Chain A
Amino acid sequence: MAMLEEPGYAGIGPRVPLRELVPIPRLAGAVWLRNARVFSKLWRGALLPTFLDPFLYLLALGFGLGTYVAHINGIPYKDFIAPGLIASAAMWSSAFETTYNVYFRMNELRLYDNVLSTPVEVQDLVAGDLAWSATRATVYGIVVLAVIAIFGLVSSWWALLIPPFVLLGALCFSVIGYAFTTLIPKIDLYSYFFTLFITPMFLFSGLFFPFSKLPEWVHVVAWFMPLYHLVEITRGLATGPEFWSVIGNSAWLVALTALLFTIPVRALRKKLVA
C-alpha cells in the first residue's frame, strides 16, 4: 500500500449554495450504473465473504453462546441477535464500499477527474456512489435475511419490510464512510475508522446484548450510533414491530444522512474542483 500516491488533506471546503447540493437523478443514476456494471462482473467473489461473516457470528454466538444465554427480554438469544446481523452486514458492506472502493476509484483509477469533466457535477457523483453503496449493502442484507429466515429465526411477516429500511440505514453508514474518505489525506487512516468507529459500533449498538442494565451514559452514546437505530428497526420488524419505534428510528437515520450529505460534497469539490 506504500506505493499509493497520497491525495493530501484538502479540507472540508467552503459552503455551497443549495442548488449545488441537489443531485440530478439521471446523472447520479449514470454513476450508479457504472458501479453496478462492475459489481455484476465481480459479485460471485464479493458476495460470499459478506454472507459467511454473519453466518459465523450466528453459529458462534447464536448457537454457541446461545446455549448458555438462553433468553434476552423473553426471546431466545439467537432470535435476539439474528435480525441485528442484517443491520451489521449492511454496515460492513457500506463501510468497505465507501472507504477502500471509493478511495481506489478516486485516487488510483482517477475516474472522478473524468466523470467531473462531463455534465456530472460533484453532488451527482456523490449521490450516485452513495446510492450504489446502499444498494449493495441492501443486497447483502437481503441475503442475511434469507439465511436467518431459513434457520427459523424470523417470527413476523413484517420482516418482509426490512429491505427498504436496510437501504435507509446503509445510506447513513455510507455517507459517514464517504465523508471520511473525502477528508483523509492518506489511506493508512482507515484503520482508525474501522478500529475506533465501525468495530465499537458493531459491538456496542445493542446487537449482542441490551443496554437496560448498563449505566445511563452507555444509552446516550449508543443513541448517537446509526447501527443502534437500524438494529432496533430490523429486530422490531423480525419479531413484530412497534409502529412508533420504527418511525422514530427511521426519522433519526434520515435526518443524520441529510445532515452529513453536505460534507462529502463540499470536501470533494474542494479536492477535485479547487
Chain B
Amino acid sequence: MNRVAPGAAPLHDAVSARGLTKSYGDRVAVDGIDFEVDPGICFGFLGPNGAGKTTTMKMIYGLATVDGGELSVLGMDATRERRVIKSRLGVVPQETNLDADLTVRENLLQQARYFGIDPGKAAERASELLDFSLIGDRADDRVHALSGGMKRRLLISRALMGDPELVVLDEPTTGLDPQARLAVWGALDRLRRRGVTLLLTTHYMEEAERLCDRLVIMDEGRIVAEGRPADLVRSHVGREVLELKLDEGCDPDRLIASLDGRIQGHDLSERTLMLYADNAEAVLEQLDHDAFPTESALARRATLEDVFLRLTGRSLRE
C-alpha cells in the first residue's frame, strides 16, 4: 500500500502548513498554524471541542477551503490540486456516513467507483479489506445491522479502497467500547506497518500516547504544543504526579510554599491539587501531614492527559 521505502529520503512532507487560517463568519476556527507531518508516521491532533482540529482535517481532505496561509498535502497545493490530492487520500469522518441503502460490500464497491477503480479489481480489494477489518462474514448484511464498532471498521475499510498514501481519521474511536477500540487500534497499527501516513484527531489521551509518533495540542485555533508524546509529558509536567485531595482546613498556597524547590509545578482545581515532580512518592513522604491534612493522596506516572489539561485548562469549553 505504501510507496515510502524504509530508509529512502522522502521527497516532501505528507502534510505541511504555514500560517494556515480559516474563519467561519466572525469566528476564527484555525488561527495561523504551522506544522509538518513526515511521511509514514502517525500524527495526532489533540484539543478540546472547538479547538480547530476537525476544520484543519477538512482543509486537508478538501471539504473546507483555505482562507489564508499555505497548506500542502503530499507535496501539492491543497486548493489548486484538490482533486488529485483526494485521489490519494482516505478519510474516516467523525460522523458515520455509510450508505444505509447498500450492503456492507456494496458500500466498498461504490467507493471504488468514485475512485475510478475497475470492477474486477474493486471486488478483489473489497474482499481483502473486509478481512482486514474483520467484517468479512458480514459482507452481505445491510449496514444498519452492524454494531458501532463494525461500522467504524467498515469506515476504515472504505477509506482504504482508493489505496491511499495518507489516511485522515477524525475521532476514529469515539463512542466505542474497549474491545471495539482495541480492534480499531489493531487496524491502525497494521496500516502504519505498511507505511501509510496516519493523521488522527482524538479526545482519548491514552489513544494518542499509544498510536501517535508525534502530535500537536490545539486550543482556540492555535497550536499550543508540538512533539513526541513522551517528550511533551517530560517537558510540560515531569515524570510523576502527586494528586492530593485536600481537606477543608488545608491551605493550598502554604502547602505549595512548604515544598519549595521539590516540585516542578502545580495545578489546583476545586479541592484537588496536582503536584508535578520527578519522584512523587518522595514528595508525599516529605509532606507535613499534620499541617496539611488531605483526604487522599495518589502518586502516579505523569501522562499526556496532565499535559493536555495543563495547556488547555480544566474548565468546560462548551
Contact = CB atoms under 8 A, between A and B. Distances in A.
A273 B61 CA distance: 10
B99 A118 contact: no
B113 to A, nearest CB: 4
A273 B66 CA distance: 10
A110 B95 contact: yes
Interface string B40-82: 0000000000000000000001111100000000000000001
A38 B101 CA distance: 6
Interface string B97-128: 10111100010001101111000000000000
Contacts, number: 71
Given A110-B95, A111-B99, A121-B83, A274 B24 contact: yes
Q: How large is the interface on A (under 10, 10 to 19, 20 to 34, 35 or more residues)?
A: 20 to 34
B136 interface: no
A33 interface: yes
B113 A117 contact: no
A121 B113 CA distance: 14
A118 B111 contact: yes
A119 B114 contact: yes
Interface in A173-226: none
Given A27-B116, A38-B102, A274-B24, A119 B87 contact: yes
Contacts of B82: 121
Contact of B114 (A109, A110, A115, A272): A115
B145 to A, nearest CB: 15
Contacts of B99: 34, 109, 111
Interface string A26-67: 110110011001100100000000000000000000000000
Given A109-B99, A109-B100, A113-B93, A119 B83 contact: yes
Given A27-B114, A113-B63, A117-B63, A41 B91 contact: no
B97 A118 contact: no
Contact of A273 (B65, B95, B158): B65
Contact of A118 (B64, B65, B84, B114): B114
Nearest to B97: A110
Interface in A98-133: 109-111, 113-121
B95 A118 contact: no
A111 B62 contact: no
B89 interface: yes
Contacts of B84: 119
Contacts of A120: 114
A152 to B, nearest CB: 39
A263 B93 CA distance: 27
B238 interface: no
A111 B158 CA distance: 13
Contacts of B62: 116-117, 273
Contact of A274 (B65, B86, B89, B113): B65
A34 B93 contact: no
A53 B110 CA distance: 33
A41 B162 CA distance: 26
A33 B86 contact: no
A30 B100 CA distance: 17
A25 B113 CA distance: 12
Nearest to A35: B101
A34 B98 CA distance: 13
Given A118-B86, A119-B116, A37 B63 contact: no
B97 A30 contact: no
B103 to A, nearest CB: 10
Given A119-B83, A274-B24, A274-B64, A26 B93 contact: no
B100 to A, nearest CB: 6
Most A-side CB within 10 Å, residue of B89, B101, B115: B101
Interface of A: 26-27, 29-30, 33-34, 37-38, 41, 109-111, 113-121, 272-274
Given A118-B87, A119-B86, 17 more contacts: A33-B110, A34-B102, A34-B110, A38-B102, A109-B97, A109-B99, A113-B93, A117-B61, A117-B62, A117-B63, A117-B89, A117-B91, A118-B86, A118-B162, A119-B84, A273-B63, A274-B64
